[in-house]
Structure 1
Amino acid sequence: MILVDYEEESGYREARPHFAKRQRLPPVVMLCKDMMPDIRTMGESAKAFPEDIKFLSEAIVHEFGNDEYFNNALLKTFRAVILEQPHKQPGIALLTMVLNSAKPEIGKSILNYFFDQIQELLNSSHDPDYQTKSHDIGPWDKIKLVLRFISILSPMVVPDDLLDLYKKLLQFTVDLNNSTEKRSPLSEAIYTNTLLNVPYLFYFNSDNRESLKTLVEELLTFVENEYNIKDTDIQLLKAYNKNPPYEPVHWVTAVLPNVKNALANDMQQLGELFLNYDTLLTQQIAIHSFNEPLNLPTLEQIIPFSGLDKGFGSVDSLWKTPRYSFEVYLPNSVGPFSTVIPTTTFTGMLFQDILLDIIESMEFNRLEVARQLVTIDLFFTAGIFTEPGLPVAQLLEQFEENPARSTFKIEDLAVGAILELTFKLPTVSQSFAYFYSLLVEICKNSPKAIAPVFGRAFRYFYNNLDKLDFELKARFLDWFSIQMSNFNFSWKWNEWEVDSIQWNRTIYNPRMIFIKNLIRKELRLTSNSADVEESVTDEFQKFMDPSFIKREDLVNYYSSLFKDFQLDEGDLRNNELYFRSPSFPFHENVTQLLDFFHKQPDTRSVAELEGILKDIAVNHGSIIEDFNRFTVTLLIQTIVFCGSRSLSHANKYIDDSREELKAIMAQVEVSPQIKDQWICEAVVRYWNSNSQTGYLILDSLRYNGLISNESVLNFSLTEQCGVNMSLVDSTSIESIFRILNELAMAADKDVGSFEYVFNRLVGAANEVLSQLNTIDPIVVPDLDQDIQATDEELPSLDLAWKYEAIMGFLKSVLRKYSDEFSVLTEKFINDVLQGVPHEPTKQQLNRWISEVSEL
């Protein structure tokens, strides 16, 4: 939570020199320091809650209005709780109404303070100079939360005034929706957020309840008749490329039926959801109006901001693209029931909304977020969730004994909410590091309860890898590897042994790609490979070799540099410069090269470097196949070896040697493209046992102007030793995305590299299609259907998986860089598609390309 620094605000800290004796703080500051934390934690103890209300209300009544400092501290604390911990809003509302009963002017002050907050937020919603912080959820999401709080205060607000807020917002969203034929992201956000608050009008029983019912019924009828939901079936945003394991719920479509059902049957759902605080309202409540009417922006003012792409906040930005549910813990996955409340109910949608707000608004304090997420049930009616930490096996027993008993697990709901944000397409709202660390923190707080929840999520994603979006596979790999490294690399690998035995001979099977990359990633995340080796079962020991290419292919690479010379394979060692081996014919010259690069840059010259290379050519040129290629390979690997202690050392040696390398490379008589490929090969072959380091060094060479962006992309996209590394190796895939991300963020955008990647992937798809030799759609059975393939069928099946990987990569690239592809000429797209003879592939690419402009 944002803690108000009362000393700082009052100037007491600033007025005191840092060396002076600490002054005694004024009583009002001491009171705020004692009282405000109690307000922030109010409701976390159900037993203490009535006493907290009594104590706090009496103190506030005594102090409010006497000192501006106290008034501001109280209102800012209320605001922080309302925006950052929305599940605590009813407690703050109850306290406000108790204050209102005791001293109506306090209630009116609080009410109109928050009314003014809505007005200020509306004004900022079309301010081009609006500045966001990392934890800023956005003005429209804040409006939702403040409106929710005011709605809970319905017993002390004139019904017509209260419903007028809803009418204005919903009329505004209808007008905004009607202003365009396309979907309006802001309109859908306001529509959903406003309707989601309607049931809160009935949180408390009051004299206003019946009149509110009538007004709400009229409001919902108006919305149902006037709001036209636009078609938003965008394939580029789908989390699954085929046969999704569930039907996602479209929030804007589901919210009105959910709200109407919650209000039906004399609001039975609300009685089962909201805590009953009515008994704590014992006095007559004064009723107030707002000081002035609400002024909304004009359509002309708001339309330029209605795409929600102006950086106005993390939760607001979630609405930029159509908002669908993302599910991990599916019904019937552990038994004939669900462990999470479905989004097709008001309760399920509300919990999801609150959890996402907590995660986003308190990003600055992940420890508190982790605690609040799994205790949110304390602020709702008992019995909605099962006992915290209840094992699934025991839950199944309870269900069999009493099917009417709740099977919803708060842990599943909390973890699922974080994973929804982690796997959000097209982009995430916060850094991945925040979500990953938050998941780690939740597990650390209660490992026995949360570890099985993670385990079920791991199994779910693993079982659906062949359907999952290409980019989401990479996110899953990252999350899984981080969890493994934080928890001693413990995983029941035997669960996957059947897949390893069955598909070990394939290259592009999604599960085998994942397993191999996971083990390699784990090896990179630890300095002690024995930790990983001990956790891996015998079946997977064969994947403990992290090599980019196989040993025999590496031998062939070095052998191809020579003629009439047999290299000693024993001299090829990981992270070692082969050419300085004592058995190598001119290792003395290589030692001279190492000494040269170890010198201070101002004590050496290009002529000295040229002399060493000339000596090698004269005395040993006869055993070198292509001296140009050898020169490039030797110089680059020598530099890489010098900087092999760390990336910072590598960057230093590359930076110090940049001009000398450029001078020598200028003398190499081949095209720049071939020269760059030799450089890429030299680096990644040297770092064959850790290709991630190799690719990071290629980044340094790019930054120093020694190779081009396109050359690294070409290296990754070109098949190496019969394998397309851009489809199977995580370090290669990460390198491609890293380069494209840099180009997308550049001030002067060059779409050439985006064209290049698109063309290369389309070409790879065409090559696979020609090998499959079919005009029919490529259909691969789901891996969870227990596919059986003979030795003769396996190559074709592997080709089909390769095709799916290429198409998945194309989909992800088009979505992730939609801005860049949207400016490519229609002619370019048409020319490329004309070269795709396979009609189903052409149709699929056409659809994705047409959707780019909708993102």
Structure 2
Amino acid sequence: MSGRKRRNDFDDDDYYQQEYRPRFQKKQRVPPVVQLCKEMMPDITTIGESKKAFEDDIKFLGEAIINEFGHEEYFNNALLSTLKAVVLEQPHKQPAIALLTITVNAQNEVAGKTIINYFFEELQSTCNNTVKVNELNLESNETGPWNKIKLLLRFLSLLSPILLNDDIINIYSQLFNLAVELNNLDAEKRNPLAEAIYTNTLADIPYLFYLSRSDSDLQSRVDQLVSNIESSFKIKTTDLSLLREYNSATAPYEIVELPQVVLPNVKKMLANNMEQLEQLFMNWTHLLPESQNGDQGFNDALQLPSCEDLKPYSFFNSTKNVGSVDGMWRTPYYVFHVYLPQSTGDFETVVPATTYAGELFRDIFIDVVEGLEFNRREVAKQVMMLDLFFQEKFFAEQGVSIADLIETYEQDPLASTFKIEDIVIETILSLVFKLPSVSQPFAYFYTLLVDICQNSPKAIAPVFGRAFRFFYNNVDNLDFELKLRFLDWFSIQMSNFNFSWKWNEWENDSKRFSASNYSPKISFMKNLVRKELRLTSTPSEVDASLPEEFKQYMDTSYFSSDILISIYESLVAADKISITEEDVKSNDLIFKQDKFPFASIVSEILDYIHKPNDTRDVAELELLVVKFKEGDEPLSNNITNLNKFIVFLLTQCVVHCGSRSLSHANKYINDLHEDLKTIWDKLEIPQDVRESTIIEAVLSYWNINSQNGYLIVDAFKFVGLVSTRSIYNFCFFDWSGKVFGLTDVTSIDTVFRTLSTQLKMVKAEESIETGVEDFEIVFEKICVIINDTITALGFSTDQVVEIPEITETTEVSVEELQRLDLLWKYTTAVSFTKSLLRKYSVQFKQLAEKLSSGMETAIPHVPTRNVLLKWVKEVEEL
């Protein structure tokens, strides 16, 4: 409900009267209870956002609930649904809602008991739903039943001052016992649900003492709970290299799994008279009612599904209705980092995950981002006010610069250096960079980050800048797929802030490595500038923002002029017709130029294509093609391979006629594909050559906008004129030492898009067991590239491939750069394989046995083979 506009029956009546009744008629009077709810419920959703008004809000809202509850069902329902919405969608406000509930309970125990059991019934209902996954119909903002259980238990824990200790402790005991049972189903293999219940339930424990810090009986029971779970739950660490954000052993930070740190974090939170709890949580004990009986109990005992009933659902393997946050537990839950201490000095700007506070803040932010997904602007607002709900001195002042923090730290090492901005951005980026898949469409996270920055540009822009630098500095080792996500995020942020370029320190890399085909940093620079150009209708803005060194990347050509000229020269007699750089520099049909003796026929072909569908006769097109062979000196004498030329020419003519937009191109391809097939079927040209020629013709025409080119290739594929195999062949073809499928984002996107399209078709036909051919083709092609590169490097079959360390001052000769380029080509191809196996793990599970048995032949190089075999084996665990 929070942040959401909801209408009720009275709103509809008001709207009807205003729109359709005469103006002089009196507006129907809104019932007092409805008016009260309209005024009061928004105040509940914003509770705590004003520290000055907080005590008054608790007092006045409490009095209103005490006086009104039980009189009108409308009020009761509105109140309970509002409380639930805040508890589930804005968990940082749970303590305030709990304090309000305890205040109400002191003077209206019926209201208090109703609220308590309402949430208990929600807990019971949610527990029941955990074995009804197939019956649920979760919306995109649903975080999942087990995450909801975590939030409901947290809220009930906050009510410990008015609850019977037996009742609340029993819930914890039941959940811990269930976690242990699930965890023991397999002695070695992790159980995702067991880890989720274990971690979430432990993380809720400190909330038992938020408003009840002097209950010795409760403390004793909790100590026993913690001791029991520590001795009975075995942590099973699972280091899946397929899920590592970085490819080499020199990753910028150590891998940590969340279940590993939660118990030590909670124990430290409760130790030393709860010193850490006092430092973190607000102290509102002075606001508690003087007389408070801890005798409220639940109407029933909680009934959890059995371990046996939950077993089929415990791996979160369902493709739907799992929930965005629950689904994150399907694979090991690794902690993600961006803002490392060494980047700022000897202090942390992000609360470490090895503390309860660090773990909790990430948890709350994820729940807000995922649970309030339907209201992105409210998310952007809420995440930046989390500090209002914790102790004031726990965070540094919002917007403080790193330079000022360094000065503060030097003067007072005990002063807080934790920046709420860093924690917010790092947590959202952890969702953007989540492997193996993201919980929401990327656009949601990207636009959310834009909103946050627009709300507080001075505070957030430097935080983005530090993140950009961190990823760029580590881009060489960054996972192949994550490089693409980083590129997308960076380009979107730049396009939303006028393409303002602040990264002049990258110039040195450009000067040293710009001649490289495979340098990860150079590929990033090139793709970034090209993406920015595609995101704007005024390229001059991008040009104006770039330092001189980076203007060379404004050339968006897919093929270099030399390659493009050679493509055209392979079709015509070069000794009779010269192809110049001027001819091929823009998207145009060069064969209609007067220099070509067949230009008049090309014009006739264009006229034919432009004809309405019902007036075209393919026989007319056949006669035009025959003209190339007629006369004493046939025009075909100017063509080196007539059959290939006809395919190339007709493709470019269709593309040229549809060049105004992608929709035009699709229309012409759909209208003419049968005519083209009729002509081409009569040519003596192998099918694979025909298809590669079609793609080559399209990309040659759209050379300065290869994204459009590949989307048009998709249209040819859709009508059956191009196969997926031919697309993979083209993307991974070696053009004078450059494989675009490893470096150019439009080619890479095409490979993944084509595979994903095939995946959807296979799923639609319910034949997933047989729909793996495309995935095998791509895997084999990358293996060929790896083998060829190892051969070019001259490595023996046992020699480990290592890239020498390159510092900012390392001088690199032309010869050294050529060898470095081969090393980068190798690591890029291997990293591509890692992303391929992970992204399409379901398909590669079908291929695992075949790939493993044939790997010795496919990859003679032993170290590479061992890595690939390890990844193929890990696919089974995804």
Aligned equivalent of 1:229: 235
Equivalent residue in structure 2 for 1:607, among 600, 619, 622: 619
Residues 44-53 or 739-748, more deviating: 739-748
Aligned equivalent of 2:39: 34
Mapping for residues 104-183 of structure 1, pairs under 5 Å: 104-127=109-132, 128-181=134-187, 182-183=189-190
State the secondary structure of the residue aligned to 1:319: helix
Please report how far the alpha carbon of residue 556 of structure 1 lies from its aligned counterpart in structure 2 after TM superposition.
1.3
**Is 2:225 aligned against 1:219?**
yes
Aligned equivalent of 2:875: 852
**Is 2:801 aligned against 1:794?**
no
**Structure 2 length-normalised TM:** 0.95
Please report how far the alpha carbon of residue 23 of structure 1 lies from its aligned counterpart in structure 2 after TM superposition.
3.0
Equivalent residue in structure 1 for 2:515, among 501, 505, 524: 505
The one-letter code of the counterpart of 1:854 is: E
CA 1:786–1:172 in 2, change beyond 3 Å: closer, same or farther?
farther
For residues 6 and 576 of structure 2, the distance between their equivalents in structure 1, rounded to whole angstroms, comes to: 78
State the secondary structure of the residue aligned to 1:318: helix
Q: Percent identity?
A: 49
For residues 725 and 471 of structure 2, the distance between their equivalents in structure 1, rounded to whole angstroms, comes to: 33
The runs of 5 or more residues in structure 1 that have no matched partner are none
Aligned equivalent of 1:565: 576
For residues 12 and 828 of structure 1, the distance between their equivalents in structure 2, rounded to whole angstroms, comes to: 62
Contact 1:339 1:408 in 2 (8 A): yes
State the secondary structure of the residue aligned to 1:383: helix
Aligned equivalent of 1:665: 680
Contact 1:328 1:416 in 2 (8 A): yes
Equivalent residue in structure 1 for 2:399, among 371, 389, 400: 389
Mapping for residues 192-341 of structure 1, pairs under 5 Å: 192-205=199-212, 209-242=215-248, 243-286=250-293, 287-310=295-318, 311=320, 312-341=322-351
CA 1:10–1:322 in 2, change beyond 3 Å: closer, same or farther?
farther
**Is 2:491 aligned against 1:481?**
yes
For residues 145 and 402 of structure 2, the distance between their equivalents in structure 1, rounded to whole angstroms, comes to: 40
Aligned equivalent of 1:706: 721
**Is 2:590 aligned against 1:578?**
yes
The one-letter code of the counterpart of 1:265 is: N
**Is 2:99 aligned against 1:94?**
yes
**Is 2:608 aligned against 1:596?**
yes
The one-letter code of the counterpart of 1:744 is: L
The one-letter code of the counterpart of 1:300 is: E
For residues 382 and 291 of structure 2, the distance between their equivalents in structure 1, rounded to whole angstroms, comes to: 34
Please report how far the alpha carbon of residue 55 of structure 1 lies from its aligned counterpart in structure 2 after TM superposition.
0.8
Contact 2:453 2:460 in 1 (8 A): yes
Please report how far the alpha carbon of residue 665 of structure 1 lies from its aligned counterpart in structure 2 after TM superposition.
2.0
The one-letter code of the counterpart of 1:612 is: L
For residues 362 and 634 of structure 1, the distance between their equivalents in structure 2, rounded to whole angstroms, comes to: 53
State the secondary structure of the residue aligned to 1:793: helix
The one-letter code of the counterpart of 1:19 is: Y
Aligned equivalent of 1:430: 440
**Structure 1 length-normalised TM:** 0.98
Please report how far the alpha carbon of residue 446 of structure 1 lies from its aligned counterpart in structure 2 after TM superposition.
1.2
Please report how far the alpha carbon of residue 73 of structure 1 lies from its aligned counterpart in structure 2 after TM superposition.
0.5
For residues 604 and 341 of structure 1, the distance between their equivalents in structure 2, rounded to whole angstroms, comes to: 70
Mapping for residues 484-563 of structure 1, pairs under 5 Å: 484-563=494-573
CA 1:744–1:13 in 2, change beyond 3 Å: closer, same or farther?
farther
State the secondary structure of the residue aligned to 1:332: helix
For residues 418 and 235 of structure 1, the distance between their equivalents in structure 2, rounded to whole angstroms, comes to: 22
For residues 219 and 644 of structure 2, the distance between their equivalents in structure 1, rounded to whole angstroms, comes to: 82
Residues 841-850 or 822-831, more deviating: 822-831
CA 1:511–1:206 in 2, change beyond 3 Å: closer, same or farther?
closer
RMSD: 1.6
Residues 41-50 or 561-570, more deviating: 561-570
Aligned equivalent of 1:772: 793
For residues 755 and 784 of structure 1, the distance between their equivalents in structure 2, rounded to whole angstroms, comes to: 38
Please report how far the alpha carbon of residue 851 of structure 1 lies from its aligned counterpart in structure 2 after TM superposition.
0.2
The one-letter code of the counterpart of 1:440 is: V
Equivalent residue in structure 1 for 2:75, among 70, 73, 76: 70
Aligned equivalent of 1:616: 628
The runs of 5 or more residues in structure 2 that have no matched partner are none
For residues 777 and 316 of structure 1, the distance between their equivalents in structure 2, rounded to whole angstroms, comes to: 40
CA 1:457–1:11 in 2, change beyond 3 Å: closer, same or farther?
closer
Alignment deviations for residues 338-386 of structure 1 (CA, whole Å, 9 cap, x no partner): 1100000000000010001000111111111111111100000001111
Contact 1:463 1:783 in 2 (8 A): no
The one-letter code of the counterpart of 1:805 is: T
For residues 479 and 239 of structure 1, the distance between their equivalents in structure 2, rounded to whole angstroms, comes to: 16
Contact 1:385 1:410 in 2 (8 A): yes
Aligned equivalent of 1:756: 777
Matched length: 854
Please report how far the alpha carbon of residue 4 of structure 1 lies from its aligned counterpart in structure 2 after TM superposition.
7.2
Contact 1:6 1:29 in 2 (8 A): no
For residues 6 and 197 of structure 2, the distance between their equivalents in structure 1, rounded to whole angstroms, comes to: 35
Contact 1:814 1:852 in 2 (8 A): yes
Please report how far the alpha carbon of residue 484 of structure 1 lies from its aligned counterpart in structure 2 after TM superposition.
0.8
CA 1:306–1:9 in 2, change beyond 3 Å: closer, same or farther?
farther
For residues 807 and 361 of structure 2, the distance between their equivalents in structure 1, rounded to whole angstroms, comes to: 31
Contact 2:577 2:595 in 1 (8 A): no
CA 1:259–1:38 in 2, change beyond 3 Å: closer, same or farther?
same
CA 1:668–1:23 in 2, change beyond 3 Å: closer, same or farther?
farther
Contact 1:463 1:784 in 2 (8 A): no
Alignment deviations for residues 11-60 of structure 1 (CA, whole Å, 9 cap, x no partner): 96599687357532211111111100000001000000111111111111
Please report how far the alpha carbon of residue 536 of structure 1 lies from its aligned counterpart in structure 2 after TM superposition.
1.1
Please report how far the alpha carbon of residue 334 of structure 1 lies from its aligned counterpart in structure 2 after TM superposition.
1.5
Contact 1:617 1:627 in 2 (8 A): no
**Is 2:863 aligned against 1:840?**
yes
The one-letter code of the counterpart of 1:822 is: K
